[in-house]
Amino acid sequence: MATPYQDRKLPDPVLNVGDAHYFEAAGQGKLLLKKCKDCNEVHHFPRGICPFCFSTRVDWVEAKGTGTIYTYSVTRRAGPIAYCIAYVTLDEGISVLTNIVDCDLDTVKIGQKVKLTFKKTENGTAMPMFAPA
């Protein structure tokens, strides 16, 4: 038994003010995080204020694009195509919600090394995803 990755229709993100830069960068193949200039903590999803020290001096930084799978679930009965939702712990130390793609989903494991890739939503927005490294 195998569950090969298949493309599926991805709903478009409905952006809030301040989110556009993240998705523009994703369109150029970059995963951006927010980093606090005062406490040096990185956070995700990106905010206009640091959720650790509440400084407003937060700026975009580019993630290396590598990490390990913290947890996942191959979702088999939410629509016609199975998909693998996951949290990946980036090498920067924080975990991001994502999908694991471009592999046999039945081989996905916690602790597995993964690398950044992108898949497009229905309106062409690039979403950061991960595939086995």
Partner 1 sequence: MTIKGKAYIAGAYEHPTRKAPDKSVAQLHAECAKGAIEDAGLVKDDVDGYFCAGDAPGMGGISMANYMGLKLRHIDSTDTGGSSYLVHVGHACEAIASGKCNVALITLAGRPRSEGSSGTQVRSRGTGVPEEPFEIPYGPVTVNLYAMAAMRHMYQYGTTAEQLAWVKVAASHHAQHNPNAMLREVVTVKDVLESPMVADPLHRLDCCVVSDGGGALIVVRPEIAKKLKRPLVKIIGTAEAPKHTMGGKLDLTYSGAAWSGPRAFEEAGVKQSDVKYASIYDSFTITVVMQIEDLGFCKKGEGGKFVADGNLIAGSGKFPFNTDGGGLCNNHPANRGGMTKVIEAVRQLRGEAHPAVQVKNCDIALAHGTGGSLGHRHGSATVIMERE
Tokens standing for residue 9: 């229709």
Q: CA 120 → CA 23, 33, 63, 91, 125, distances in Å?
A: 11, 19, 19, 24, 5
**Sole binder of partner 1 in the list 2, 14, 28, 80 (CB under 8 A):** 14
Q: Which is nearer to partner 1, 99 or 117 (CB)?
A: 99
Question: Tokens 């471009």 — which residue?
Answer: 102
Q: Is 125 a binder of partner 1 (CB under 8 A)?
A: yes
CA distance 115 to 64: 9
Q: Report helix, strand or coil for 75.
A: strand
Strand pairing class (83-90; 42-43): unpaired
Q: Which is nearer to partner 1, 66 or 75 (CB)?
A: 75
Give least dist CB 59 to partner 1, A: 15
Please give the span between the terminal C-alpha atoms of the chain, in angstroms, as a whole number: 22
Q: Is 131 a binder of partner 1 (CB under 8 A)?
A: no
31-70 residues in contact with partner 1 (CB under 8 A) are 41-47, 51-52, 70
Q: Is 96 a binder of partner 1 (CB under 8 A)?
A: yes
Give least dist CB 96 to partner 1, A: 7
CA distance 66 to 92: 9
Give least dist CB 133 to partner 1, A: 19
- The site for partner 1 (CB under 8 A) is made up of 10-16, 19, 22-23, 41-47, 51-52, 70-79, 83, 85-87, 93-99, 110-111, 121, 125, 127, 129
